[in-house]
A = this chain, B = another copy of it.
Amino acid sequence: MDFELAEAELLLGRTPAVLRALLSGLPERWLRGNEGPETWSPLEVLAHLIEGEKTNWMPRVRVIYEQGEAGQFAPFDRFAHLRASEGRSVDDLLDEFAALRAQSLEEVGALQLTPADLGRTGQHPEFGRVTLGQLLATWTAHDQAHLVQLSRTLARQYREAVGPWQAYLSVMR
């Protein structure tokens, strides 16, 4: 599928409501349960999404938009959030994410990006040349990837409880 900015904004804009519908009010053991060692709980995923709003997505959009290939992406610490979620409630994290995402989308809108702008290029430290459109598509897909992770993590809390039906549930493997 080709990238359409309006569609990406629509998808990015609804993630806070999806997260709230899925997670707000869940018992703590569901919010803190993970998939095993070195995996993240729902609260840690939320904190990672917050970190992305603060230090990854819009800062990189601005680097490409303002500096092009001369600009440098700040490194994204994909584990910073593991400290950031400690002691915070799910609603607190959901509220912060919703506010940051709304602000991000306001900033995207203010750029009034044209189709030509989506072809603007920047330098990724590993991949080399990337476009603004690719960055925005990645942001959108990254949300969905973490929704995949959240529902998979919730499902796996019942790995034992489903008994023999485990054989029918590929999500458990």
Give the interface of A toward B (CB within 8 A): 1-3, 7, 10-11, 14, 17-18, 20-22, 25-27, 29-30, 33, 124, 127-128, 130-131, 133-135, 137-138, 140-142, 144-145, 147-148, 151-152, 154-155, 157-158, 160-165, 167-172
Could you list 27 examples of A-B contacts with CB < 8 Å?
Answer: A1-B29, A1-B157, A1-B158, A11-B26, A14-B21, A14-B22, A18-B18, A18-B21, A21-B21, A127-B164, A127-B165, A127-B167, A130-B164, A133-B161, A134-B161, A134-B162, A135-B165, A137-B158, A138-B163, A138-B168, A140-B158, A141-B158, A141-B171, A141-B172, A144-B154, A147-B147, A148-B155
Contacts beyond the supplied A7-B27, A134-B161: 17 A-B pairs with Cβ under 8 Å:
A1-B158, A3-B161, A7-B30, A14-B21, A127-B164, A128-B164, A130-B163, A131-B163, A137-B158, A138-B158, A141-B165, A142-B169, A145-B155, A145-B170, A145-B171, A148-B155, A148-B171
Nearest residue (CB) in B for A144 is B155
- A141: which of B127, B148, B162 is its contact (CB, 8 Å)? B162
Total copies of this chain within the assembly: 2
Task: For the complex, give the distance between the alpha carbons of A17 and B21 in Å.
Answer: 6
Nearest residue (CB) in B for A164 is B127
Residues of chain B lying within 8 A (CB to CB) of residue A167? 127
CB within 8 Å for A169 and B138 given contacts A10-B26, A144-B151, A144-B155: yes
Q: Is the CB of B145 within 8 A of A1?
A: no
For the complex formed, measure the closest distance between the CB of A31 and the CB atoms of chain B, giving whole angstroms: 12
For the complex formed, measure the closest distance between the CB of A52 and the CB atoms of chain B, giving whole angstroms: 12
